[in-house]
Amino acid sequence: MNSAGTGLIGNTIVQVDAAAELIPPISAAQRIATLLTVILPMLSVIVAIYGFWGWGFSWVDLGLLISMYAATGLGVTLGFHRLFTHRSFEAVRPLKLLLAILGSMSVEGSVFHWVAMHRRHHQHSDQADDPHSPHRFGNTFFGVIGGWWHSHVGWLFTPDPPNLERYVGDLKKDAGLVRIDRLFVLWVLLGLAIPAIVGGLLTWSWWGVLLGFLWGGLVRIFVVHHVTWSINSVCHMWGQRPYRSRDESRNNVIFGFLSFGEGWHNNHHAFPTSARHGLHWWQLDITWIVIRVLQVCGLIWRVRVPTPETLAAARNDVKG
């Protein structure tokens, strides 16, 4: 049955078009196939680094890859996701604008488009109107392949839902964010130029410029994309569900580390406005560590986390 109404995403009320039936969960075979499909390309990057070491990859290139991955990755996790989408904390204006620029450098879309799609995802999580649910094509062989492809990257090639801008009416009131959103292409080019320039200056060679562009730019974008998309695919198929949620979101320890804490996805869907995704001490959440440091420095405040009583009340009695 379909129903109309409103829903709360972060602190923002959005209009709910129609709530669709929850799509049946996928099989264990699909989870395994997806895991392998995601892990193997990541391993290929590690092999390439090893193979190129000394003549096409050096400590300079490794530093550029890691630093640009950290900066743009936090732009997504800390900025696009926890700040702009879910309003899980408040930040001083220079930090807010910087995070919007760094997130744009990840080349995952402009700040308004990213936030709008993610708010829609939470509104319809694992339902028919979810932009990137893997639970759409059944448990047949082609359904397994189609579900993984769609949730991981295929959804990017589908038309945007109508009236997507209604999800970001609150953000469009900020003139600074409007300008950053409009200059998306500039930030993408800047994210490619910075590692190229730094690589050239550190090696004082055009070869350093090229390698900086390659490893700190293109390879970094590939890795950031792959990790982020894995939250859509892997973390809705493979992992644990310690808390009740109305979808198939799951905690995944691998992507809890690689994505700076975003892989604790069941925690997040159970408590979407929480600034902390790794809700227990053994759940590494690098973004949360950064939040705590920034909070101590007075750069952010009103940090939202669930109380121990709220956590206990939401525990899931059915595992898996």
Domain assignment present for 3:
no
* Cα Rg of the chain, angstroms: 20
Domain assignment present for 154:
yes
Specify whether the CB–CB gap between 221 and 107 falls below 8 A. yes
pTM of the model: 0.83
Question: Which stretch, 12-21, 112-121, 228-237, has highest mean pLDDT?
Answer: 112-121
From the list 240, 315, 312, the residue with the least C-alpha distance to 283 is: 240
Domain assignment present for 1:
no
Mean pLDDT for 283-287 is 97
Mean pLDDT for 57-69 is 94
Residue 244 corresponds to which amino acid? R
Specify whether the CB–CB gap between 23 and 126 falls below 8 A. yes
Domain assignment present for 9:
no
Mean pLDDT for 3-29 is 43
Domain assignment present for 320:
no
Specify whether the CB–CB gap between 133 and 158 falls below 8 A. no
Residue 20 confidence (pLDDT): 38
- 121-151 residue pLDDT tens: 998 888 878 787 887 776 676 776 777 777 8
Please give the residue that has the higher pLDDT: either 39 or 87: 87
Domain assignment present for 70:
yes
Parallel/antiparallel/unpaired status of strands 90-91 and 12-16: unpaired
Neighbours of 123 (CB within 10 A): 20
- 174-231 residue pLDDT tens: 999 999 999 999 999 999 999 999 999 999 999 999 999 989 998 999 899 889 999 9
Specify whether the CB–CB gap between 84 and 115 falls below 8 A. yes
Distances (CA, A) of 242 to 133, 138, 210, 232, 245: 20, 25, 46, 18, 9
Domain total for the chain? 1
Res. 275: pLDDT tops 50? yes
In terms of residue numbers, what domain contains 287? 27-313
Domain assignment present for 17:
no
Domain assignment present for 15:
no
